[in-house]
Amino acid sequence: MAICTAVVKQLRAIVGRKYVLDSQEDLLCYSFDGTFAEFMPDLVVEPGSTEEVSAILKLANEHEIPIIARGMGSGLAAGTVPFGGGIVLPLNRMDAILEIDLLNMTATVEAGVITFDLQTAVECHDLFYPPDPSSIKHSTIGGNIACNAGGPRCLKYGVTGNYVMGVTAVLADGRIIKSGGKTIKNVTGYNFVQLFTGSEGTLGIITEAILKLVSKPHYVRTAVVAYDRLDDASRTVNAVLSAGIVPATMELMDETAIVCIEEAMHLGLPVDKEAILIIEADGFDQDGVQHEIEAIARICQETGASSVEVAKNEAERAELWRARRSVGPSLARRAPNKLGEDISVPRSQIPEAVRRIKEISRKLELPIVIFGHAGDGNLHPNILFDRRDPEQWERVQDAVAAIFATAVDLGGTLSGEHGVGTLKLPYLESDVGRISIEVQQLIKQALDPKGILNPGKALPLMEPSSHY
């Protein structure tokens, strides 16, 4: 679709001429995300305030122009690729940390703030914003909220949604809604904060948020634990949590992940083991944290660990986390392409999920590396392949379908922290069921009757429901 000159003129009047981009080079930059998908938008408009977003949406709604809000475009589900064109709306100019409230332990931020920048800012005040997606250094709070992003620390601290206390969002017709606030308890009205969180820009565009902070833990101990058998690593996860210990993280890497990292980084990781866990304990009492990591080490040994090493200092710890974060990139040494999935299963099903994924890998003759947040059942099976080979690409599709089927069959779900976007839409009904999709569509229809907000993402495009 082409956007008519009169509308472009009005958009320029709203945000200023230099914030309306229409050159092919500029449009190209906003045509893709962290996946293989791409599609050129018709226009890129960069708003500088909630009021500007409101004015843009009012105009877009009137003219039924799709609006795809976007942070840094690091999404892994093609949730911000503008299939069908329309206006991409990067919120990056709105990057102010408006307030850090020390007494109430909250931060009020604009959507475009980089998550890492917020963390750094609050840590100066001995406060802590726990959610830590891998993309933390470049993804935005707005994007994190739109996808309800996770990360390793979510085991102890919970996901992004657990830290969103209030939002300012712009509805499809430009109306501005504020919901929630700085109160810890709030049961006044429906929970719009959590309805907007994770809705991937399909119900409204979040422009500001009030985030909960906690006190920054004073002490951290990190252990790297090796296992001859991956099953034992899974058993450790359940044993530690059943003992009443909630570590900050329990990260799993399988043997291929270990080897890839080791080849890339030469850290001395045990390349002959089936799995390692990175387990971190944190807290405010030095002895308490020490007791916790010792108790964890004991349980690891009881559940079959072949070695438990505790990082001696911050440098060693930083290196371990650098290793964990480099799993994704290091896989590039093995194959030209990778496709990372994001299934979540009940914790008890991790061993079975791992077994079935390995079986899928064997059957379809595709290397699948398994790593992820074992403590909360969120696994990232990464399929390695060569996109240039169409036959291989077909097998990749089969592997993805089989991985999703496994997750659902084990009582799990398609996505733990990446969102549905476009890529998981074909599998959505197998997970949530027909009625759930219909109810999603009813709510979408109620809030965005013309369907301009990120159309075709998170839920299938509307077909008129015959039921009501």
Token pair in block for residue 38: 């791409």
* Residue among 20 and 59 whose Cβ is closer to its own copies: 59
User: How far is Cα 228 from Cα 211, in angstroms, rounded to an integer?
Assistant: 42
Interface residue with its own copies, options 344, 361, 392, 454 (CB under 8 A): 344
Q: Per CB under 8 A, does 194 bind its own copies?
A: yes
User: How far is Cα 327 from Cα 337, in angstroms, rounded to an integer?
Assistant: 14
User: How far is Cα 3 from Cα 294, in angstroms, rounded to an integer?
Assistant: 63
Q: Per CB under 8 A, does 347 bind its own copies?
A: yes
Candidate segments 67-75, 157-165, 311-319, 355-363, binder of its own copies by CB under 8 A: 157-165
Candidate segments 17-25, 252-260, 283-291, 308-316, binder of its own copies by CB under 8 A: 283-291
Interface residue with its own copies, options 49, 104, 301, 326 (CB under 8 A): 104
* Residue among 265 and 439 whose Cβ is closer to its own copies: 439
Are 279 and 246 contacting, i.e. CB atoms less than 8 angstroms apart?
Answer: no
* Residue among 154 and 258 whose Cβ is closer to its own copies: 154
User: How far is Cα 231 from Cα 228, in angstroms, rounded to an integer?
Assistant: 9
Interface residue with its own copies, options 64, 215, 263, 461 (CB under 8 A): 215
Interface residue with its own copies, options 13, 177, 271, 461 (CB under 8 A): 177
Interface residue with its own copies, options 373, 403, 406, 453 (CB under 8 A): 373
Least Cβ distance, residue 321 to its own copies (angstroms): 20
Interface residue with its own copies, options 154, 250, 260, 400 (CB under 8 A): 154
DSSP helix/strand/coil, 141: helix
* Residue among 70 and 235 whose Cβ is closer to its own copies: 235
Q: Per CB under 8 A, does 199 bind its own copies?
A: yes
Q: Sign of the C-alpha dihedral, residues 141, 328, 408, 344?
A: negative
Q: Per CB under 8 A, does 462 bind its own copies?
A: no
Site residues for its own copies, window 284-343 (CB under 8 A)?
Answer: 284-285, 287-288, 291-292
Least Cβ distance, residue 449 to its own copies (angstroms): 6
Candidate segments 20-28, 46-54, 330-338, 439-447, binder of its own copies by CB under 8 A: 439-447
Candidate segments 8-16, 67-75, 172-180, 260-268, binder of its own copies by CB under 8 A: 172-180
Q: SS in 3 state form for 142-172?
A: HHHHHHCCCCCCHHHHCCHHHHEEEEEEECC
* Residue among 4 and 184 whose Cβ is closer to its own copies: 184
DSSP string spanning 256-282? HHHHHHHHHH-----TTSSEEEEEEEE
Least Cβ distance, residue 456 to its own copies (angstroms): 15
Upper half-sphere CA count for residue 118 (Cβ side, 13 Å): 35
Interface residue with its own copies, options 7, 32, 121, 181 (CB under 8 A): 181
Interface residue with its own copies, options 447, 453, 456, 457 (CB under 8 A): 447
Q: Quick one: 9 exposed, middle or buried, by C-beta within 10 A (0-12, 13-18, 19+)?
A: exposed
For residue 393, the tally of other CB atoms under 10 A from its CB is 15
- Contact letters for its own copies, residues 58-97 (x by CB under 8 A): ----------------------------------------
# of chain residues touching its own copies (CB under 8 A): 96
Helix (H), strand (E) at residue 107: strand 106-110
The contacts found for 177-185 with CB under 8 angstroms, 24 or more apart, are: 177/204, 180/210, 181/210, 182/101, 182/104, 182/106, 182/210, 184/212
The residues facing 21 across adjacent strands are 44
DSSP helix/strand/coil, 43: strand
Q: CA nearest 14: which of 87, 96, 112, 108?
A: 87
Q: Per CB under 8 A, does 449 bind its own copies?
A: yes
User: How far is Cα 286 from Cα 221, in angstroms, rounded to an integer?
Assistant: 10
Per the listing, tokens 């891998």 go with 134
Least Cβ distance, residue 23 to its own copies (angstroms): 35
Q: Quick one: 281 exposed, middle or buried, by C-beta within 10 A (0-12, 13-18, 19+)?
A: buried
* Residue among 44 and 250 whose Cβ is closer to its own copies: 250
Angle between helices 5-15 and 50-63 (to 10 degrees): 170
Candidate segments 27-35, 91-99, 331-339, 429-437, binder of its own copies by CB under 8 A: 429-437
Q: Per CB under 8 A, does 98 bind its own copies?
A: no
Q: Quick one: 245 exposed, middle or buried, by C-beta within 10 A (0-12, 13-18, 19+)?
A: middle
* Residue among 361 and 441 whose Cβ is closer to its own copies: 441
Site residues for its own copies, window 130-149 (CB under 8 A)?
Answer: 147-148
Least Cβ distance, residue 460 to its own copies (angstroms): 11
